[in-house]
Structures are given as structure tokens and as C-alpha cells.
């Protein structure tokens, strides 16, 4: 895709593709020269004004990353999720795509777990322990997440765990919008390769980035969303997308343990959908 594309046309095209994604249309093909194509009407609705959608959810597709999302990916024709994840990791490389690469990260925290998992957990970004060990959710919050997973009657090795951004934000600050928008296409590709039945967004940052919805946790929790990652092929007969649920981030639950009961309700909803039986109660 030429980087010299007229900015207005580029913006209009990105808006139109985002609009199609909201309708559940993900597959596009190239016909002819874009420069000779007719102008595209921009859609009036901006993402900041986007109302909460009831059933169709797709990750944020911005003007800046839309062409990245639409570019054919090396894993697209690979059926084995282990090989697919490996190809995504190789594509990520020693990533310098956003400013987090030069703000003190020790390493990229790609993701961990079962490449064929029915259940995926997505947090916002690595903390100090994760940055040190190269694995998501290994500190105190990770310990609590492990207990939550155990309480669902499964093991950490059974699920896949990743974050919206793969490098530690300095001082554990919230990842900024441009960082999330630059990094999240790799998360979308991971989800597309793993093809989980359920994705659980841990906390507001993960939820808002996955759902492209700006709403408080009280509105985001308590229901399933139909989720198809941006860039995934809706025509893939082996996967029609995942259910997405939102619950509190374990780090928040450590600060406010009174909310553990609410988080447990969210997980019970997921367990019911997946047919899981609880073994233990959360700590």
C-alpha cells in the first residue's frame, strides 16, 4: 500500500473499512488502481462518539493501522496454531513500532499458554515482574489470576494469556491510545490464530480496546459480546469468532477485594458457556 496516499482519501478509506467491520464484513479484495478509484464518502460517526453496540464487537481499527490490518499476514495460510503464533512472533521481531520500545522495557512479553485454548485472557500490559520474566501475569496479579483460573476447574496451561501492549509502560502507567492502536493488531492476530471460544477482557483498558467501546466497567460487564478480531476472516469455516466477556483486572481486585464476588459472577458466566465445573473458590 503506497504511503503517499492522499491523506483525505486515506482517512475516508479507513473510515469506510471501519464501517464495514462494524457491519461484520471483514474480507476485502483488491480491484484496480486505488488512485483511479472514486472518492469514498467519509462516515459521520467518530470512534469517540461511538455508542455501545449490543452484539457485534470488533477491535479498534484506526486510520494508522488499517493498512497494517488489511495486509496479508504470513500466518494466514497456516493451519497449525503453534506455527501461526511463531510466525506472528517472528513478524513482531525486536519491535520498535511504538514509543514503549525506548521507555525502559527489558523484553517483549508476547503471550503464554495453550495455542489451541478455548479460553483466552487479555490484560492491558506487562508490569515489572512480567517485563523481568517475559511472561504475562506472573506477579501478585498473576498469582490471583492463576487462582481464578483454578477456581474455574482448569489450569493456567489450559488457557492463553496475552496483553493489549507487549512492552511495559514506564512506572506501570496505563498504555496510551497510540501504543494500544499500534500493538493491538498483533493481539488480534494471536486471537485469530488461537480461535478461542471465549475471550475474557481483564479490566477497562483491555475491554475498551477489544470492543472499541467507551463505557464504564459497570456497563461493560455482565454479558457476552460477539467478537471477531479486526483482520480475521469471517469466511473462515473453522471459526466464526468468540464470545467476549469483561471482568475486573486482578490488580484491581487486589486493591479492592470486595469486588472478587462480582468477578466470580463474570467467570461463572464463562464457565456455564464452556461447560466448566468449579473446583475451588477464589482466594
Instruction: List residues near ligand SF4 by CB under 6 A.
Output: 92, 95-98, 100-101, 108, 165-167, 179, 182-183
Quick one: DSSP state of residue 55?
S
Q: How far is the CB of 172 from ligand SF4 (least distance, A)?
A: 14
Quick one: DSSP state of residue 31?
-
Q: How far is the CB of 186 from ligand SF4 (least distance, A)?
A: 7
Report CA-CA distances (Å) from 71 to 66, 170, 189, 261, 273.
9, 31, 12, 43, 34
Q: Which residue, 118 or 179, has its beta carbon nearer to ligand SF4?
A: 179
Tell me whether residue 63 is exposed, middle or buried, using C-beta atoms within 10 angstroms of its C-beta: 0 to 12, 13 to 18, 19 or more: middle
Q: Which residue, 127 or 241, has its beta carbon nearer to ligand SF4?
A: 127
Contact 181, 212 (CB under 8 A): no
C-alpha 3/C-alpha 240 separation (Å) is 32
Query: Number of helices and strands (H, E) in the chain?
Result: 10, 7
Q: What is the bridge-based pairing of β-strands 242-247 and 225-227?
A: antiparallel
Q: Which residue, 17 or 98, has its beta carbon nearer to ligand SF4?
A: 98
Q: How far is the CB of 112 from ligand SF4 (least distance, A)?
A: 15
Q: How far is the CB of 167 from ligand SF4 (least distance, A)?
A: 3
Q: How far is the CB of 244 from ligand SF4 (least distance, A)?
A: 21
90, 82, 125, 122: which is closest to 104 by C-alpha? 125
Q: Which residue, 96 or 172, has its beta carbon nearer to ligand SF4?
A: 96
- Count the neighbouring beta carbons within 10 Å of the beta carbon of residue 19: 16
**Rounded CA Rg of the chain:** 19
Q: How far is the CB of 1 from ligand SF4 (least distance, A)?
A: 19
Q: Which residue, 113 or 169, has its beta carbon nearer to ligand SF4?
A: 169
Q: Which residue, 15 or 179, has its beta carbon nearer to ligand SF4?
A: 179
Q: Which residue, 83 or 92, has its beta carbon nearer to ligand SF4?
A: 92
- Count the neighbouring beta carbons within 10 Å of the beta carbon of residue 274: 16
Q: How far is the CB of 95 from ligand SF4 (least distance, A)?
A: 3
Amino acid at each position: 500500500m503506497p504511503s503517499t496516499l492522499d491523506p483525505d482519501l486515506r482517512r475516508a478509506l479507513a473510515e469506510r473499512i471501519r464501517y464495514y467491520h462494524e457491519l461484520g464484513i471483514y474480507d476485502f479484495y483488491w480491484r484496480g488502481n486505488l488512485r483511479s478509484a472514486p472518492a469514498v464518502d467519509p462516515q459521520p460517526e467518530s470512534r469517540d462518539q461511538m455508542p455501545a453496540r449490543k452484539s457485534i464487537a470488533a477491535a479498534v481499527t484506526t486510520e494508522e493501522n488499517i493498512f497494517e490490518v488489511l495486509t496479508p499476514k504470513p500466518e494466514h495460510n497456516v493451519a497449525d496454531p503453534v506455527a501461526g503464533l511463531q510466525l506472528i512472533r517472528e513478524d513482531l521481531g525486536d519491535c520498535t513500532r511504538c514509543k514503549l520500545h525506548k521507555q525502559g522495557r527489558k523484553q517483549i512479553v508476547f503471550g503464554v499458554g495453550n495455542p489451541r485454548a478455548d479460553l483466552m485472557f487479555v490484560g492491558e500490559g506487562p508490569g515489572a515482574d512480567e517485563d523481568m520474566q517475559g511472561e504475562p501475569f506472573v506477579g501478585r496479579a498473576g498469582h490471583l489470576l492463576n487462582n481464578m483460573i483454578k477456581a474455574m476447574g482448569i489450569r493456567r496451561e489450559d488457557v492463553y494469556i496475552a496483553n493489549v501492549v507487549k512492552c511495559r509502560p514506564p512506572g506501570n502507567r496505563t498504555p496510551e491510545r497510540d501504543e494500544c492502536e499500534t500493538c493491538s493488531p498483533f493481539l488480534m492476530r494471536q486471537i485469530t490464530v488461537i480461535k478461542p471460544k471465549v475471550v475474557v477482557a481483564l479490566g477497562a483498558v483491555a475491554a475498551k480496546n477489544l470492543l472499541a467501546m467507551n463505557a464504564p466497567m459497570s456497563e461493560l460487564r455482565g454479558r457476552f459480546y460477539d467478537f471477531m478480531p479486526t483482520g480475521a476472516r469471517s469466511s473462515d469455516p473453522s471459526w466464526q469468532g468468540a464470545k467476549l466477556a469483561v471482568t475486573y483486572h486482578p490488580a484491581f481486585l487486589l486493591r479492592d477485594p470486595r469486588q472478587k464476588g462480582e468477578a466470580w459472577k463474570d467467570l461463572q458466566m464463562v464457565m456455564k458457556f464452556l461447560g466448566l465445573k468449579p473446583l475451588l473458590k477464589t482466594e
